Chains A and B, each alone.
Chain A
Amino acid sequence: MLTTFLLLPLAGVLMIAFLPRTREHEAKWIALFVSALACALSLAIFVRFDRDAAGYQFVDRFEWIRAADAGFSVQYIVGVDGLSAPLVLLLGVLSLAAVLVSFNVTFRAREYFAWLLVLETAVAGVFTSLDLIQFFLFWELELLPMYLLISVWGSGRREYSAMKFLLYTISGSALMLVGFLVLGLAAGTFDIEQLTAQPPSDTLLPLQAVFWFVIAAFLVKLPIVPLHTWLPDAHTDAPTAVSVMLAGVLLKMGGYGILRIALPVLPEQAHDARVLLAALAAISVFYGAVLTLRQRDLKRLIAYSSVSHMGYVLLGVAAMGSVALSGAALQMVTHGLITGLLFIMVGLIYDRAHTREIAELSGLMHQMPLIGAATVVAGLAALGLPGLAGFVAEITVFLGALEAHPAATILAVFGVVLAAGYVLWAVQRVFMGARNERWSALPDFDAWWERAAVAGMLVLVLVVGVYPRVLSDVVAQGVAPLAAMLAGPAA
């Protein structure tokens, strides 16, 4: 089932590749069909996931490279647990939304949709791989489509931003690979399940160094201040759908990597590093929020808010209790939904007004009441209003982290205050105020695909906000063994 989920987008790529040049405009329909199927499949995986059974489910495996005596056995193993199942669903939903909001892409549409689908496969591989080398393979596979998507279909300084994204990511993953190889030598296997069951105790490098090698790539991806500077650039210059994917699922690769690999394989070292991680998290939340306040470009504003919001994920990780870890896992999903939605909204505004300067926009509520309403709901969710998705995750992180890291948590709570400030201020400047004649001709939603993407995401934000147990039940299954393991060194 998971293998099908991985291969489905690639099948779409093949179909697009064999599309005659004269029928290029049909690429989007193929992409829509394939990503809708993948979304349905991810929903099926999520629904059929057994919340009461422990361990990985839907496992497929075979030996890929056999050279055990040479220390180079690589397996293909995919499986999901409570940590990855929600992310797989998030990926399915956001990929579909990304295809929908790309329906107006006409410039080299064939290649565009093909790369978007390759991206989906790569991220799906990261979320489901249970072998370190296979994980690394998919981690690297994500680079090229992302680089090309920003570099070609982006705007502004797109070449610079794309290259910056590439170099930051690949440098981070370079260290990660060394960490993986050292772990593989010590344990004699790259199988994540076996590594988790028996964390290696004696490696070539000090274990603490291995921990930082491995987590470096994840911290860059998350991203954490001061490794975050690629993110605003990449977001600002990326096309809407790519921003949705970037904020929605690609950043989660960082958080997921920490929860799947860094913590369970090196629990003692993670425990030793928890204060430093909490400090980094608090700085990210707070500094990210301060930077967000100062932004004048709507898209950049949301990009910086991501830095701040992903700080909560790391704060939850640093607390290492079961509540905080659940909060971190939830925050990844809710942030993916909310920020994905926000980027869609900004894209819609930009498509109409052709500017993202907050100072130039005003009174848009008059022209586009529906877009305005949807943006306000998404913004309120982002600042953590109860009843919407963001609240549940943030409050869980804070509750879980308060005891372990009171100072960091309190600083992070100020981040929420600032979030209220920048969200409401931006909404007020862009949507409220008197009718602005310059924008009088702007339409509201005018295409079915815009409405479909936004409506679907809004429903999910509401559902998770009102009834968070749909998610938290599943997350709990994944967090339980992790929390139990981390409780060991703490005691």
Chain B
Amino acid sequence: MNLEAFHFIGPAIVLLAGAVLVLLADLATGRRACVRPLAMLTLAAAALYAATQAAADTGGQAFGGAIGVDRFTIYVALLLIVITAAVVVAGEPGLTRVAQRGEFYALLLASTASMMLLAQARDLVAIFVALETTSAVQYILVGLGRDARASEAGLKYLLTGAIAAAVLLYGFVLLFGIAGSTSLADISRAVAETGDETRLAVVVAFVLIAAGVGFKMAIVPFHAWVPDVYQGAATPVTVFLSAASKAAGFAIALRLFYTGLGGGDTPVSADWAKLFGVLAAVSMTLGNLAAIQQTDVKRLLGYSSIAQAGNIAVGLAAVATGSTLGPAAVLFFLGTYAATNLGAFIAVIAVGARVGSDELRDYAGLLRRSPGLAIVLVLCLLSLTGLPPTAGFLAKLYVFNSAVQGGEQWLVWLVVVAVFNTALSAYYYLRWARTILLDEPLDPAPFQPPAATNAVLTAAALGVLFFGIVPTPLIDAARSAAAALA
């Protein structure tokens, strides 16, 4: 083993080292103030590392082919780092119920590192270990906090997560049985040669795997934990789950299904494409129908994130056609969705910290109480709806177009379902926007979010607008990342 192997997983190592440092600093000084800057520094270092990898176009495999680095993993790594950085910078006001700052930041960094490794894994064992590490860290993150709601959420997340992991493992075992290898490359070859006698086993395997990763992606019917966990966890943790964990879930789904289960010409891919098509349609419909009825904004965003996962899964269904259009669309969507969701959730943190509640009616007249905050939140809601001139508009357009470009009639009907769901989602997103912009405030006192929150909100809003008007840089990055999957 040479040093290059460690270079490939450099950003993750930086993050893990940072996590340890954060813990030590917390122990040594006992002062809360020093851990957050340390975490930020770590993230900056990791981002720099990943950026140099990107600049040098680093590519290759290590650890016996279990771990690889390419444009896809770097894209995912940078996305995850940006999300985590936003949570670290702006999450503080939402942590009133969390006493253990050192643990919080250390776990956040560790979770990010393991998700980056997850995206880099090219072997079933490595994938499973990375996935379980990610989950284990996240169970604790959800449970952090001094009240019963957080504990309940943590336990719920743990139990459903454990079942999902077991199901995933069954699927992996079946794949191993078929291919005789845990390497995705070998599995891909074995699946391509699948005859009728093993076809059923492959189908069962990918259904189980879809269920396992579906838990991370939070798509129906593996979504039951979402509203409770989103509501119960400290809001910064919710942000992290909704943006980072979802991105990692889709990243590993792309890797597993595109690389491992043969996106393209195999008969198997046509089968799992339809599975994802059905899951997408059900996810967005049920997610939207449930979101309409919510009055707690965290639950509303929870259901909306299920519906959005359905939109992204339309891109997964398009993956089956073998072109890189579907993966590129998924990656572009994940990028814009991160900016959008971060903006929305961090605004929710800021309002929650001030108002002490996450009820929809407390957003009445936010425009007059805190104009900047209100404008960012409305922009993010427009982006979630998919209205121009925001990034969400182009993301949906790109995903839907990639599905139509798949050239199959059932994909067009899937898009029909998706566009009607957009209309459905407009109802609750815009009702919320209207409340913010126009209703009379219950409490007219103006307020200013902290400077750090403002910075992240501004960045999110600029991202949402910039990629809505000048999408080409992100589209190009997503496309070259997707090309690395093939």
Contact = CB atoms under 8 A, between A and B. Distances in A.
**Most chain A beta-carbon neighbours within 10 Å: one of B382, B404, B405:** B404
A181 interface: yes
Contacts of A227: none
Contacts of B423: 167, 170-171, 174
Contacts of B355: none
Nearest to A213: B416
A288 B214 CA distance: 51
Interface residues of B, number: 38
B430 A181 contact: no
Given A144-B382, A181-B415, A151 B438 contact: yes
Contacts of B407: 185, 204
Interface stretch (B88-96, B120-128, B337-345, B394-402): B394-402
A167 B419 contact: no
Chain B contact surface mostly: helix
A182 B412 contact: yes
Chain A contact surface mostly: helix
A170 B479 CA distance: 30
Interface stretch (A66-74, A93-101, A463-471): A66-74
A185 B404 contact: yes
A181 B472 CA distance: 19
Interface residues of A, number: 34
B408 A204 contact: yes
A67 B388 contact: no
Given A141-B388, A144-B382, A174-B423, A182 B404 contact: yes
A137 interface: yes
A260 B434 CA distance: 33
A133 B416 contact: no
Nearest to B323: A70
Interface string B403-433: 0110111001001100110110011001100
Interface of A: 65-67, 70-72, 111, 133, 137-138, 140-141, 143-144, 147-148, 151-152, 159, 163, 166-167, 170-171, 174-175, 177-178, 181-182, 184-185, 204-205
A65 B476 CA distance: 10
Contact of A71 (B325, B387, B427, B431): B325
Contacts of A177: 397, 400, 419
Contacts of A144: 382, 387, 430
Given A177-B397, A204-B409, A205-B409, 14 more contacts: A70-B324, A71-B401, A72-B398, A137-B389, A138-B388, A140-B388, A151-B438, A166-B427, A167-B423, A177-B419, A178-B400, A182-B404, A204-B407, A204-B408
Contacts of A72: 325, 398, 401-402, 405, 475
A144 B409 CA distance: 32
Interface string B366-403: 00000000000000001000011100011001101110
Given A177-B400, A185-B405, A70 B325 contact: yes
A66 B416 CA distance: 25
B427 A178 contact: no
Contacts of A163: 427, 431
A170 B426 CA distance: 8
Given A148-B438, A152-B438, A174 B405 contact: no
A65 B412 contact: no
B10 interface: no
B472 A65 contact: yes
A177 B471 CA distance: 19
Contact of B434 (A65, A140, A151, A182): A151
A212 B355 CA distance: 49
B437 interface: yes
Nearest to A144: B387
B330 interface: no
Nearest to A115: B437
A191 B325 CA distance: 21
Nearest to B434: A151
Nearest to B378: A144
B475 A204 contact: no
A175 B387 contact: no
Contacts of A148: 434, 437-438
A65 B419 contact: no
A170 B422 contact: yes
The 8 closest A-B pairs by CB, nearest first: A174-B419, A181-B404, A170-B423, A71-B405, A137-B388, A171-B423, A152-B438, A141-B388
B108 to A, nearest CB: 35
Contact of A137 (B328, B393, B405, B408): B393
Contacts of B431: 163
21 contacts: A65-B472, A66-B472, A67-B476, A70-B324, A70-B325, A71-B325, A72-B401, A72-B405, A143-B426, A144-B382, A152-B438, A163-B431, A170-B423, A174-B419, A177-B397, A177-B400, A177-B419, A181-B415, A184-B401, A185-B404, A204-B407
Contact of B401 (A137, A138, A181): A181
Contacts of B476: 67
A187 to B, nearest CB: 12
Interface string B433-445: 0100110000000
A141 B430 contact: no
Interface string B448-486: 000000000000000000000001100110010000000
A26 to B, nearest CB: 19
A140 B423 CA distance: 11
A111 B479 CA distance: 40
A306 B275 CA distance: 47
Nearest to A152: B438
B320 to A, nearest CB: 15
Interface string B319-331: 0000011001000
Contacts of A171: 420, 423
Contacts of B412: 178, 181-182, 204-205
Nearest to B398: A72
A171 B427 CA distance: 11
B427 A167 contact: yes
Given A70-B325, A175-B419, A178-B412, A204 B426 contact: no
B330 to A, nearest CB: 13
